């Protein structure tokens, strides 16, 4: 019996390591994905005034603070017992869409495109975003520009790019001005052009990644995401839909509130990241996925014409319910296209400059649950408050936790395919990490770095003798 440790996993958003257990013949028997950071937000929020929660919860994650702001504000609005002004609903949507664009750009271009462009077996010394900038300058520039497009929208709406204080319990803190709206709208055509160019590049090259697509967490699971009544994607204010791997709807337009009736949480002794499972199927069989791949499986359509045309092509090629997590990449590109169109549509609404953007109330209920899609999947915030509005208890279910069981199984699947015996090819290691990158896990959100950190790997025999060693 021996064990391979990949520590830390690189080019993902967080601190983690992977361990792979081998039997005496060098065959993989098990594998685990370990998340190694923990901050304890569920405890430190205790005693805070509820209206402070969105700003505090944003600090869970610097990549997707907007989704935490929204889920948290929605939980607070249940506590207040208010419905927020329609323009605030729309403005929050715009900010969440912009965040999905920038976060997807980071995942696709900065973190994963080195594998896709330069190859999973490329020399690790140059297998990074600067290597992409040298080999394909247009691809890298598109990545920087698309990310900037999303971040600038967040700044124009909220005053700063990261942790904007603009989303508050009751709505947003100030209305949109015509000048900002027009600046954002002026950037739409160029952003669309850059996404279209990237999508064409992806589609022209996807056949070359068939081996990876075949084994990158490729198994049917349940899928969860937010949809609107008309079946359109509902990133910010849709209702929950859960389907199985054949598309059968297990729950539809479900109020997230009694999530504890259908979602269970389990602790794995090897990780600070808890695993969520669908209670009807039990643990660990009730594994499900969230995020772009899952969202595209649960929705009927996006609701914007160009993205729906692309979605039709995606489904023609991959089937109605693609199961390989490799296609998170493709799904991410389609969502970027949809989000940009949707930003334009929301900003073109005649009421978008309305000045009444916030409802005000004291706490009127003792409990609230808020839900939103983050770039990497569904977020749930659940608070209980006392009569003064102080938080007594909080529970958070984060996108990456929903995906934890599937990521672990994906690591095992890829390790079984690529790891054999006592020799460790570097490309194997990179593929084991790359399956994790497909999910774009947000480990701050469960615990986050965008890390290209060192990797050291030792293959030890049962007696502790080093059989093989690799570092980069």
Contact segment (CB under 8 A) with another protein among 213-221, 244-252, 348-356, 451-459 equals: 451-459
Peptide bond into 257 cis (omega under 30): no
Closer residue to another protein (CB): 141 or 361: 141
Q: Is 262 in the site for another protein (CB under 8 A)?
A: no
Annotate 364-403 with b (16+ C-beta within 10 A) or e (fewer): eeeebbbbbbbbbbbbbbbbbbeeebebeebebbbbbbbb
Q: Is 471 in the site for another protein (CB under 8 A)?
A: yes
CB of 260: closest distance to another protein in angstroms?
8
Q: Is 350 in the site for another protein (CB under 8 A)?
A: no
Q: Which one among 74, 90, 92, 127 touches another protein, defined by CB under 8 A?
A: 127
Contact segment (CB under 8 A) with another protein among 220-228, 232-240, 266-274, 345-353 equals: 266-274
CB of 365: closest distance to another protein in angstroms?
21
The dihedral through the CA atoms of 97, 160, 168, 359 has a sign that is negative
CB of 397: closest distance to another protein in angstroms?
9
Q: Is 29 in the site for another protein (CB under 8 A)?
A: no
The CA angle 110-118-213, to the nearest 5 degrees, is 85
Q: Which one among 29, 43, 349, 422 touches another protein, defined by CB under 8 A?
A: 43
Q: Is 342 in the site for another protein (CB under 8 A)?
A: no
Closest CA to 404 of 255, 262, 290: 290
CB of 41: closest distance to another protein in angstroms?
8
CB of 138: closest distance to another protein in angstroms?
14
Q: How do strand 222-227 and strand 288-289 relate by DSSP bridges?
A: parallel
Q: Is 144 in the site for another protein (CB under 8 A)?
A: yes
Q: Is 356 in the site for another protein (CB under 8 A)?
A: no
- Which residues 6+ apart lie within 8 Å of 137 measured at CB? none
Q: Which one among 166, 235, 272, 328 touches another protein, defined by CB under 8 A?
A: 272
> E strands, 53-189, where?
167-168, 171-172
Q: Is 146 in the site for another protein (CB under 8 A)?
A: no
Closer residue to another protein (CB): 102 or 232: 102
Q: Which of residues 85-114 bind another protein (CB under 8 A)?
A: 106, 110
> Residue 19: phi, psi to the nearest 5?
-120, 140
Considering CB under 8 A, how many residues would be counted as binding another protein?
Answer: 67
Q: Which one among 90, 92, 104, 147 touches another protein, defined by CB under 8 A?
A: 147
Q: Which helix (H) or strand (E) holds 102?
A: helix 86-105
Q: Which one among 199, 281, 449, 461 touches another protein, defined by CB under 8 A?
A: 449
Do 382 and 33 contact (CB within 8 A), yes or no? no
Q: Using CA atoms, how far apart are residues 159 and 173, in angstroms rounded to an integer? A: 11
Helix (H, G, I), strand (E, B) or coil at 63: coil
Q: Is 237 in the site for another protein (CB under 8 A)?
A: no
Closer residue to another protein (CB): 268 or 306: 268
Closest CA to 3 of 431, 467, 454, 472: 467
Q: Is 279 in the site for another protein (CB under 8 A)?
A: yes
Q: Is 13 in the site for another protein (CB under 8 A)?
A: yes
Closer residue to another protein (CB): 268 or 354: 268
Question: What are 250-257's contacts with CB under 8 Å, separation 24+?
Answer: 250/222, 250/278, 250/280, 252/227, 253/227, 253/229, 256/369, 256/370, 256/371, 256/380, 257/369
Closer residue to another protein (CB): 58 or 84: 58
Do 38 and 267 contact (CB within 8 A), yes or no? no
Helix (H, G, I), strand (E, B) or coil at 30: strand
Provide the binding-site residues for another protein, judged by CB under 8 A.
10-11, 13-15, 19, 32, 34-40, 42-44, 56, 59-63, 65, 106, 110, 124-130, 133, 144, 147-148, 151, 160-163, 260, 264-272, 274, 279, 283, 395, 444, 448-454, 456, 471-472
């Amino acid at each position: 019996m021996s064990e391979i440790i990949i520590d830390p996993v690189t080019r993902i958003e967080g601190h983690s390591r992977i361990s792979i257990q081998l039997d005496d013949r060098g065959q993989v028997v098990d594998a685990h994905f370990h998340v190694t950071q923990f901050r304890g937000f569920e405890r430190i929020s205790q005693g805070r005034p509820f209206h402070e929660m969105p700003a505090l919860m944003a600090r869970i994650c610097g990549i997707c603070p907007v989704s935490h702001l929204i889920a948290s504000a929605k939980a607070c609005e249940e506590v207040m017992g208010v419905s927020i002004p329609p323009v605030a609903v729309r403005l929050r949507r715009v900010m969440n869409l912009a965040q999905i664009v920038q976060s997807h750009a980071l995942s696709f271009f900065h973190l994963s495109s080195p594998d896709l462009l330069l190859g999973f077996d490329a020399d690790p010394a140059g297998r990074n975003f600067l290597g992409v900038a040298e080999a394909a300058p247009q691809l890298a520039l598109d990545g920087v520009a698309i990310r900037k497009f999303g971040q600038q929208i967040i700044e124009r709406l909220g005053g700063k790019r990261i942790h904007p204080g603009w989303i508050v319990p009751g709505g947003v803190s100030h209305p949109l001005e015509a000048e900002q709206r027009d600046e954002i709208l002026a950037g739409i055509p160029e952003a669309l052009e850059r996404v279209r160019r990237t999508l064409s590049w992806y589609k022209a090259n996807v056949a070359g990644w068939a081996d990876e697509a075949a084994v990158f967490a490729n198994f049917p699971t349940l899928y969860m995401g937010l949809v609107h009544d008309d079946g359109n994607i509902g990133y910010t204010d849709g209702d929950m839909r859960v389907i199985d791997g054949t598309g059968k709807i297990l729950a539809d337009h479900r109020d997230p509130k009694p999530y504890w009736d259908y979602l269970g949480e389990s602790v794995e002794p090897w990780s600070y990241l808890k695993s969520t499972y669908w209670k009807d199927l039990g643990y660990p069989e009730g594994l499900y996925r969230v995020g772009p791949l899952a969202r595209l499986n649960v929705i009927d359509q996006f609701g914007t014409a160009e993205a729906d045309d692309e979605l039709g092509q995606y489904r023609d090629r991959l089937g109605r319910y693609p199961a390989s997590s490799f296609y998170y990449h493709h799904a991410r590109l389609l969502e970027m296209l949809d989000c940009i169109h949707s930003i334009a549509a929301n900003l073109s609404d005649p009421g978008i400059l309305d000045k009444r953007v916030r409802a005000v109330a004291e706490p009127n209920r003792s409990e609230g649950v808020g839900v939103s899609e983050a770039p990497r999947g569904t977020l749930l915030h659940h608070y209980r408050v006392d009569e003064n509005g102080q938080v007594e208890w909080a529970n958070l279910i984060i996108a990456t936790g929903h995906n934890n069981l599937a990521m672990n199984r994906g690591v095992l699947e890829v390790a079984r395919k690529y790891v054999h015996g006592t020799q460790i090819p570097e490309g194997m290691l990179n593929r084991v990490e790359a399956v994790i990158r497909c999910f774009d896990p947000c480990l701050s959100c469960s615990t986050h770095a965008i890390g290209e950190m060192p990797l050291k790997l030792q293959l030890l025999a049962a007696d502790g003798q080093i059989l093989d060693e690799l570092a980069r």
